[in-house]
Amino acid sequence: MWSGGLLLTIAALRVSTAYLPTSSAHDVRPTDHGDELLAVRWQRLFLPVPEHIPEPRKRETERILGLYEREAHKYDREMRVCEKLLFGGGREWACSRAEGDVLEIAVGTGRNLPYYSHGVRLTGVELSPAMLEIARRRARELGRDADLRVGDAQALDFPDDRFDSVVCTLSLCTIPDDRAAVSEVRRVLRPGGRFLLLEHVRSPVLPVRVVERLLEPLMLRFEGDHLLREPLDHLRAEGFDVERDERSKLGLVERVAARKP
């Protein structure tokens, strides 16, 4: 999830892209090995542990929990600005496609709750009790019947083949082991179930990606936020069939619908 650090990112991106020519969605280039080496060097400069050799998952998860316990009270205020600038319509896009028994991982303060159809049976998990309390209050105000509980997306406390849809919005960026989270999503989805995702990702547009790389060490240290992840890599590795992949905002924002075979 993004909070205050996103505003710094947006400002830097606006400067870096102010003179970019307009291009179509197809004018993208894959990242290369040299770019990855640059990212590692910057992380070595700012972080005690390079991103490609992560801290033990338990310790990093506890750090992320602490960050969101402290920031829960201001998360909604900051996200309103972020969503207006980058993610408009994204939550509606993901939630409106969810059907049947639905799980939302990293439900946060419940910002997605207004966008689910009333026919779904909704369960949500959130690492931070402070964030979850706001989500529960929002559910009561909306009259939304939802099972909202504390939980870790990296180790879901549900049986295999439990849900028809799983939704994740702006959360894989801060989950310490995002591959584990995607693997857990696949496990709890029923065959034919859909994974619906909204995320900020590694841009294929070079000037934007350079800014992301420059900001990544600071964002990791102070926000626990990864700017260079690409969820599609994990989805494909876990065997999902990607049905829809939409990019916007110079490739920075991605919407994905994928199905478990």
Q: How confident is the model at residue 82 (pLDDT cuts 50, 70, 90)?
A: confident
In the structure encoding, which two tokens stand for residue 113, read together?
């709750």
Q: What is the pLDDT of residue 257?
A: 98
Per-residue H/E/C for the chain: CCCCHHHHHHHHHHHHHCCCCCCCCCCCCCCCHHHHHHHHHHHHHHCCCCCCCCCCHHHHHHHHHHHHHHHHHHHHHHHHHHHHHHHCCHHHHHHCCCCCEEEEECCCCCCCHHHCCCCCEEEEEECCHHHHHHHHHHHHHHCCCEEEEECCCCCCCCCCCCEEEEEEECCCCCCCCHHHHHHHHHHHEEEEEEEEEEEECCCCCHHHHHHHHHHHHHHHHHHCCCCCCCHHHHHHHCCCEEEEEEEECCCCEEEEEEECC
Structure tokens at 246: 């939409």
> Token pair for residue 248?
């916007």
pLDDT, tens digit (0-9, with 9 covering 90-100), for 141-174: 999 999 999 999 999 999 999 999 999 999 999 9
Q: Which of 34-43, 57-66, 168-177, 199-208 has the lowest mean pLDDT?
A: 34-43
Q: What percent of the chain has pLDDT over 70?
A: 79
Percent of the chain with pLDDT over 90: 75
pTM of the model: 0.81
In angstroms, rounded to a whole number, what is the distance separating the alpha carbons of residues 239 and 138? 35
For the chain, list the domains and their CATH numbers.
5-18+28-259 (3.40.50.150)
List all residues 6 or more positions away from 186 whose beta carbon is below 8 Å from its beta carbon: 195, 238, 239, 240, 260
Q: Is the pLDDT of residue 19 over 60?
A: no
